[in-house]
Amino acid sequence: MSDSVPDTQNLWQETPLLLSAPISRLLGANAFLKFENAHPSHAYKFRGMSLFVRRALQTHGKSVHFVIASGGNAGLAVACAANIAGAKCTVYLPEGASESTMRLLEGQNAEVIVVGKYYLEAVNAANEAASSHKNVVRRSDFMGGAQLYGHRDIEAVKTVGGRGTRCDMLQCWGRGMLAGIIVGCNKVDWDHVPLVALETIGSNCFHHSVLINSSGSSTFATELPPYVDRVHDSESNLYLAHFKGFSSKASGSLGASQPATGAVKMALARKGGIQCVSVPDELSMQSAVAFANDHKTLVELACSTTLSAAYKAQLLDTVIPPRSDGQRRNVVFIVCGGFKVDLKDLAEFEKVVEEQLEKDPNGAWDVIYNDGKVVSVDYMANSV
């Protein structure tokens, strides 16, 4: 096999930005959807990981061997990018990894090695492999320089801005994604555009971390839950919320024990600020089911968290009020995707929500936003 470097300029392609008729009608706004799940690995992380793969190939040649410890979207993204480029990839997983995850990775010609009961043991095995073999490149599944740069040119920023259209909101989840969007907004002079970062209650380490370093005075801002520690990062002189456990079912993707320091630092420094929103799992579940019905697309629970405001006008109006000139708002929802979802999951989401509605048809979910403010969102409002 030739060791020449393959043409890797097009490991990723531009993903669709579409106007959603049903969501626009529900919100009374122009609602655009950026389908990041159209990447080969079904998630936005392919952007950064494909850039990482391309740079490694340019540096080491086609004989480079990629190694990562990840049973999530980062691992599949590296496997997909390496497979497209014709390079070798090994993914280390802890015991208990699902058969479906292993099949997906093996389907991308990745070697899968199961080691240890805990994720840290898989990480240590990957590190050992990277240090003991030549031409092995180890990739962390957390945000780093290459991944950040890969997300910076997210086309939701360039495409809407290129039309000369006023954008009233970009809504996303994910700490690496958020950091990339901040850089992208700065690049096109969109520091004034409101960015809304959504997480689920019980995995919202970014929301808590932003407030720890702010002047918040609410109980939510000043008192961390018992399963969260306040840790200090000496390099940045920032405090981070470190989760010792998770109560959210979205933790499979949103379950970082603490956010990347760089993402928190960028959010705090952004001129236009960041709006943080934490929603209950059930609201995300309802949004996932509604989105599947409307757009015939399955997304992970973590991704449907972003779509919570797409299906609750009350929530959108709270964080991004209607324009004073009476014109329709232009809002962009990043559909970040994820592969850890199937029809059984959607059926379970629907069952959970239906049971809650049967118990209290007139009930509401409490959504926490910014400095611990709370908006109660009706169960049935805008439901489909």
d(CA 272, CA 193): 7
Structure tokens at 188: 């096109």
Q: Which two tokens stand for residue 231?
A: 């840790």
pLDDT band of 383, cuts 50, 70, 90: low
**Average pLDDT of the segment spanning 42-46:** 87
What is residue 142's predicted lDDT score, i.e. its pLDDT? 47
User: Both tokens of residue 347?
Assistant: 């059926």
Over the stretch 88-138, which tens digit does the pLDDT of each residue have? 999 998 888 888 889 999 999 999 999 988 777 888 898 888 888 777 888
Q: Is the CATH number 3.40.50.2000 carried by domain 17-43+154-378?
A: no
Q: How far is residue 107 CA from its own chain's centroid?
A: 24
Residue-wise pLDDT for 219-255, tens only, equals 999 999 999 999 999 999 999 999 888 888 876 665 5
Let me know: does 263 contact 238? Beta carbons within 8 Å: no
Return the axis-axis angle of helices 73-85 and 46-60, rounded to nearest 10°. 40
**pLDDT band per the 50, 70, 90 thresholds, residue 21:** very high
Instruction: Inform me whether the pLDDT recorded for 167 exceeds 90.
Output: no
Q: How far apart are CA 182 and CA 190, in angstroms?
A: 9
**89 Cβ contact partners less than 8 Å away, ≥ 6 residues apart:** 65, 66, 67, 68, 78, 79, 82, 83, 108, 109, 110, 111
Over residues 260-303, the pLDDT tens digits come to: 888 899 999 999 889 999 999 999 999 999 999 999 999 999 88
Q: Write down the mean pLDDT value for the chain.
A: 85
Domain ranges of the chain: 17-43+154-378, 46-143
Of residues 362, 375, 383, the one with CA closest to residue 316: 375
| pLDDT value, residue 226 | 94
Question: Hey, do 17-43+154-378 and 46-143 end up sharing a CATH topology, with the first three levels equal?
Answer: yes
C-alpha–C-alpha distance, residues 248 and 364, integer Å: 18
- Of 139, 122, 138, the residue nearest 130 (C-alpha): 138
| One-letter identity of residue 71 | G
Tell me which fold the domain 46-143 belongs to: Rossmann fold (3.40.50)
